[in-house]
Amino acid sequence: MTTLYASFADRIGAILDDLQASGALPAGLDRRNVAIEPPRDPAHGDLATNAAMVLAKPAGTNPRALAELIVPKLAALPEIASAEVAGPGFINVRLTEQSWRDELAGILASGGDYGRSAAGRGTRVNVEYVSANPTGPMHMGHCRGAVVGDALAALLEFAGYAVTREYYVNDAGAQVQTLARSAHLRYREALGETVEIPEGFYPGDYLIPIGQALAAEFGNAYVGKPESEWLDLFREKTVAAMMDMIRADLALLGIAHDVFASEAAVQKAGKVDAALDRLRGEGLVYEGTLEPPKGELPDDWEPTEMTLFKATAFGDDSDRPVRKSDGGLTYFGTDLAYHAQKAETADMLIDIWGADHAGTVKRIKAAVQALTAGKVAFDVKLVQMVRLLRGGEPVKMSKRSGSFVTLADVVREVGKDVVRFTMLTRKADAQMDFDFAKVVEASKDNPVFYVQYAHARGRSLHRRAAEAGIDLAPAADLSLLDAEELALVKLAAQFPRIVEGAAQAHEPHRIAFYLYDLAAMFHALWNRGNDDPARRFLLSDKPEITRARLALSDAIGQIIRNGLGVMGVTAAEEMQ
RNA sequence: GCGCCCGUAGCUCAGUUGGAUAGAGCACGAGCCUUCUAAGCUUGGGGUCGCAGGUUCGAAUCCUGCCGGGCGCGCCA
């Protein structure tokens, strides 16, 4: 269905067309800045447009005069109760109560599709997120990016984009070689040797079963043999096992990627040379030396020739090496080719990165621009660190011993829904505290609980109505709803535009904040029943009113389910 | 030294991509409720949107310069 706001945009557009046809307005006005919005102050009505203010100057008139031309045409529309000029030239519109009742009926009729949008027009967007190194289990450092990326993917899908969820497996660098060597130690251990894990190796216990599996598969075939005989094999086997473990961890959060792209495969397929050759042909890749870094000069600085990408041509501060002076690829060199690969099948790329990689955003943006001639939109979303607390005290973590807070532990303790919702209660680039005590608290301070509670209240209404013997089959008479109840419908009706705005801005946290506001207003309405029993949702002796109020409650519940669905959170049937 | 992110109520944060008198929760003040329509409700005080300019009908939002905080800074991943 078209949203209320979109349909009014059409109507304003038609009115402007009329005014242009009749010569009251010049042709060819740029209408891109014309907005239809709910005013912040409800006293200003249900909808407001700035059309007169934006168009007055190019039309050679003044805002109020132009508004006076538009208002009568608006007021003539059947669903409009009043339209008036206000302030510097805003046009404030009040809709009839009937249009809000229609909107409520529309929410219920649309069900799980309410808020779904075609705004994305099927644009193919590739969202790459998590992409944790396959050297161990997922820990809490990965968690926020995982949730933000997954929710963003779902949000874009809901808003009409064709989404691919992708994970980039860094299986080619020095770290996975260290992993393979660490696994080889565990393999020897499994065969009876007493081993010590040297500094710089991966010490975690999770490699013990890998070593046992390798021992079971290969016996002692690779004991005392040079690395050249086993390193690649052990790397592949161990990375595969790590990825199984990571997939299992992600599954706990309800995350499943469509594509796992291998760094080694990108190199093996010759994509790096292809991309670099192409750029070399355009003069964007060359052999050269870098300027020394500004500020303190490292003691051992000496200019060396290597292969560089001309990132400065696209606004970066320095050109960036794609091949080291020894001819080996840099991480960036392969990453550049990997983005070219993604761009082959997408109109838009989104990367979710930890904020500690902020320094490399410019070069990869430069690369994508160079590789796609600016035709593929590209956004890097930086996700800030999460501080883990328990009752206000920082959770101690020791990296050295290899013991860190794993994602699996946290999900086990507080549950998937709490983790996901909490990760979306801040915008991604703001730091966040995750307090084990607070996120499970049953109080208004905890948005997770508050939203779930609103939904559960609505569900319990049905159970209680059944107990009270109320027949819910007949259609609800929505004319029985009062002004306060319709005010809740007005907030509910904003869900579609919240979805579109959040999708366009790549900000899934907006859904969480909106749901909190919606829940708060629903609770306030519910609480009226404490002071005045006649205003309760459930009145056992008044089935007509109960049916109308249940329709309202159902609509709110539907939107909460739809919103939580985008966030990957299950709506609670009841609070325990 | 350079670059990126940030600076909004005492605290934690929103702010509909430039809209009207800048909001919420916590905390604080006052009143109410003692309830399974439960895990609270109503209400009040509280602001130089870091500072100073600029852009325009209009700026927390965009531009420039300062101040303050975080992160990053030759071939690492």
ipTM of the prediction: 0.93
A6 touches strand B (CB under 7 A): no
Q: Which residue is nearest to nucleotide B22 (CA to C1')?
A: A40
Span CA (A141) to C1' (B38), Å: 37
Nearest to A472 by CA among A422, A399, A538: A538
Span CA (A207) to C1' (B53), Å: 61
* DSSP-derived pairing of the beta strands A124-128 and A348-354: parallel
Q: What is the pLDDT of residue A299?
A: 66
Span CA (A330) to C1' (B77), Å: 9
- The two tokens of residue A27 are 């042709």
Span CA (A207) to C1' (B77), Å: 21
Span CA (A464) to C1' (B48), Å: 54
Nearest nucleotide, CA A354 to C1': B71
Span CA (A316) to C1' (B25), Å: 41
- The two tokens of residue A53 are 């203010």
Please identify residues in chain A, positions 113-172, with a C-beta within 7 angstroms of any atom of strand B: 133, 170
Span CA (A519) to C1' (B35), Å: 21
pLDDT digits (tens, 9 = 90+) for A411-430: 999 999 999 999 999 888 88
Are the CB atoms for A566 and A511 separated by under 8 Å?
yes
Nearest nucleotide, CA A464 to C1': B37
A305 touches strand B (CB under 7 A): no
Span CA (A453) to C1' (B36), Å: 14
Give the count of beta carbons closer than 10 Å to the beta carbon of residue A462: 17
Please identify residues in chain A, positions 441-480, with a C-beta within 7 angstroms of any atom of strand B: 442-445, 453, 456-457, 460, 464
Report the distance separating Cα A539 and Cα A243, nearest Å.
Answer: 55
Nearest nucleotide, CA A359 to C1': B72
Token pair 């094999």 is found at: A233
Span CA (A427) to C1' (B50), Å: 21
- Cβ contacts of A304 within 8 Å, gap of 6 or more: A289, A325
Please identify residues in chain A, positions 55-94, with a C-beta within 7 angstroms of any atom of strand B: 57, 63, 86-90, 92
Tell which strand B nucleotides have any atom below 7 Å from a protein Cβ. Answer: 1-6, 12-26, 33, 37-42, 56-58, 70-77
Q: What is the pLDDT of residue A548?
A: 95
Nearest to A126 by CA among A153, A144, A146, A145: A153
List of chain A residues with pLDDT < 50: 399-402
Burial class from Cβ neighbours inside 10 Å (0-12, 13-18, 19+) for residue A252 reads middle
**What's this model's pTM, rounded to 2 decimal places?**
0.95
Span CA (A445) to C1' (B40), Å: 12
- The two tokens of residue A572 are 């609670």
- The two tokens of residue A410 are 């946290």
Residue A392 has φ and ψ, to the nearest 5°, of 90, -15
Q: What is the pLDDT of residue A398?
A: 52
A501 touches strand B (CB under 7 A): yes
A532 touches strand B (CB under 7 A): no
Q: What is the pLDDT of residue A446?
A: 85
Which helix (H) or strand (E) covers residue A228, if one does? helix A227-252
Span CA (A502) to C1' (B15), Å: 14
**CA dist list (Å): A569 to A253, A255, A308, A455:** 9, 11, 45, 12
* The dihedral formed by the CA atoms of A499, A503, A509 and A514, expressed in degrees to the nearest 10: -20
**CA dist list (Å): A404 to A120, A388, A491:** 40, 11, 43
Are the CB atoms for A431 and A384 separated by under 8 Å?
yes
Which helix (H) or strand (E) covers residue A322, if one does? strand A320-323
Span CA (A571) to C1' (B7), Å: 36
A3 touches strand B (CB under 7 A): no
Please identify residues in chain A, positions 310-369, with a C-beta within 7 angstroms of any atom of strand B: 317, 321, 324-326, 330-332, 355-362
Q: What is the pLDDT of residue A401?
A: 43
- The two tokens of residue A65 are 């005069």
Please identify residues in chain A, positions 225-254, with a C-beta within 7 angstroms of any atom of strand B: none
Burial class from Cβ neighbours inside 10 Å (0-12, 13-18, 19+) for residue A379 reads middle
Domains of chain A: 4-95 (3.30.1360.70), 174-245 (no CATH), 447-567 (1.10.730.10)
Q: Which residue is nearest to nucleotide B23 (CA to C1')?
A: A40
Report the distance separating Cα A528 and Cα A522, nearest Å.
Answer: 10
Nearest nucleotide, CA A33 to C1': B18
